[in-house]
Amino acid sequence: MDFVRLTINGKEVEVQEGTSILKAAEQAEINIPRLCYDDSLEPVGACRLCVVEVKGARTLIPSCVAAVTPGMVVETESPTVIKARRMLLDLLLSNHPLDCLTCDKNGDCRLQEYAYRYDVKHSSFEGEKHNYLIDDSNPYIRRDMNKCILCGKCVRTCAQVKDRKVIGFANRGFNTKITPAMYTELAESDCVSCARCLVVCPVGALTYNNLAGKGRTYEIRKERVTCSFCDAGCQFDLNYKGEQVIGVTAGAPGEGRPLCLKGRLGMELLYNDNPPTPMLKKDDQFVEVSWVEALGMEGLLKKLMEQD
Ligand code: SF4
Ligand code: SF4
Ligand code: SF4
Ligand code: FES
């Protein structure tokens, strides 16, 4: 494997050939803001927040999709770069509810983080804002598309698992939105409530219904556990508030890893001090079920009873 030397913000960096500028900067402990990039997904260069200045280039370069070249000289926080990022954030805020005071993502929201970092307090644009109904038809997942910044990460992560592709982009321009097929609510779609889309969503557009209002992000401590129900070895996070586990959330959404609802519910039953009533979809409707049914253990239970 060949290596490439370049300079980022005056620092000499040596990385493997083919590395993106964004990852090379990370290696030099330089953080470049990103909204549509995620380590678990193919980069698409959609949001443009990660743009950097490259000496000799005529335009700003999206660092998540551009590979390093030998001798490259990169500036990640030049006045031109900062101006471009402020403009992008200004545009995003122009159609955003800005209800950080009550948003469950407050404290862990990329839009909030970057607005603070680049001192964008409000939008200088005036115009129409979306007024979509909040979709909480699925007992586990809450979708507030008024907060969606159209990064597309939920769409890409859903498509990473075989036979999913539950959500996608619809419409154009101002009316572009993320939706299940035929504009249905999530509960009517083929969604399997795996919550991998929640893991990658950078803002408060996708949140856990069962954790709504239970605690601010800075009050919650996460502890990673691995599910042993099957060989996939999916990872989940126990969410502690004080000494109590108040809920289990999906962990790393690696390629093909199902992060199935059964596994998450199993972790709820094992660790949650006050586990939620399990709900499963039957005849297109979510209904309360027993834990035995939720965890698919009817067969095992029947066998055990027959042994008696
Ligand atoms: S999504 Fe982020 S910026 Fe929007 S209201 Fe929630 S915390 Fe604030
Ligand atoms: S919860 Fe899972 S299946 Fe449902 S939309 Fe999100 S990623 Fe797709
Ligand atoms: S719902 Fe979240 S992850 Fe999906 S496009 Fe909107 S902001 Fe991105
Ligand atoms: S993070 Fe690079 S374009 Fe979005």
The predicted-structure confidence for 198-226, as pLDDT tens digits, reads as follows 999 999 999 999 999 999 999 999 999 99
CA-angle at 233, arms to 228 and 237, nearest 5°: 85
> Could you tell me the distance, in angstroms and rounded to a whole number, from the CA of residue 264 to the centre of ligand 2?
13
Which pLDDT value is given to residue 258?
A: 83
| pLDDT band at residue 3 using 50, 70 and 90 as cut-offs | very high
Mean pLDDT of the chain: 94
| pLDDT band at residue 307 using 50, 70 and 90 as cut-offs | low
Residues 6+ apart with CB under 8 A from 270: none
Contact 249, 104 (CB under 8 A): no
Contact 122, 88 (CB under 8 A): no
Ligand at shortest distance from the CA of 167: 2
CATH topology of domain 1-129: Ubiquitin-like (UB roll) (3.10.20)
The predicted-structure confidence for 170-194, as pLDDT tens digits, reads as follows 999 999 999 999 999 999 999 999 9
Residue nearest to atom 3 of ligand 4 (CA): 45
Atom of ligand 3 nearest to the CA of 153: 3
Which of 138, 135, 183 lies closest to 281, judged by CA? 138
Whether 151 is in the pocket of ligand 3, judged by its Cβ within 6 Å, is yes
List, in sequence order, every residue forming a beta bridge with 135; answer none if it has no partner. Answer: 143
Q: Is 18 left (phi over 0), alpha (psi -120 to 50) or beta?
A: left
Best residue among 108, 178, 186, 207 to mutate for probing ligand 3, ranked by most atoms within 8 Å of CB? 178
Longest CA span, the chain: 79
Whether 36 is in the pocket of ligand 4, judged by its Cβ within 6 Å, is yes
The predicted-structure confidence for 33-86, as pLDDT tens digits, reads as follows 999 999 999 999 999 999 999 999 999 999 999 999 999 999 999 999 999 999
> Could you tell me the distance, in angstroms and rounded to a whole number, from the CA of residue 219 to the centre of ligand 4?
30
Question: What is the H or E stretch that residue 267 is in?
Answer: helix 261-271
| DSSP class of 122 | S
Which of 112, 94, 98, 90 lies closest to 33, judged by CA? 112
Contact 68, 6 (CB under 8 A): yes
19 pLDDT exceeds 60?
Answer: yes
β-bridge pairing 3-8 and 73-75? parallel
Residue range(s) in the chain whose domain bears CATH number 3.30.70.20: 130-303
Ligand at shortest distance from the CA of 178: 3
Whether 160 is in the pocket of ligand 2, judged by its Cβ within 6 Å, is no
Residue 199 phi/psi, 5-degree rounding, is -65, -40
Residue nearest to atom 3 of ligand 2 (CA): 191
Q: Name the 3-class secondary structure at 298.
A: helix
| pLDDT band at residue 308 using 50, 70 and 90 as cut-offs | low
Residue range(s) in the chain whose domain bears CATH number 3.10.20.740: 1-129
Distances (CA, A) of 55 to 5, 12, 242, 264: 15, 15, 50, 48
- Which CATH architecture group holds 130-303? 2-Layer Sandwich (3.30)
H helices of 1-134, where?
A: 21-27, 79-93, 110-117
Among residues of the chain, what percentage have pLDDT more than 90? Answer: 87
253 pLDDT exceeds 90?
Answer: no
- Cα distance between residue 203 and residue 11, in whole Å: 32
Residues 6+ apart with CB under 8 A from 154: 167, 178, 197, 200, 201, 206
> Could you tell me the distance, in angstroms and rounded to a whole number, from the CA of residue 150 to the centre of ligand 1?
14
Contact 49, 114 (CB under 8 A): yes
Which pLDDT value is given to residue 80?
A: 98
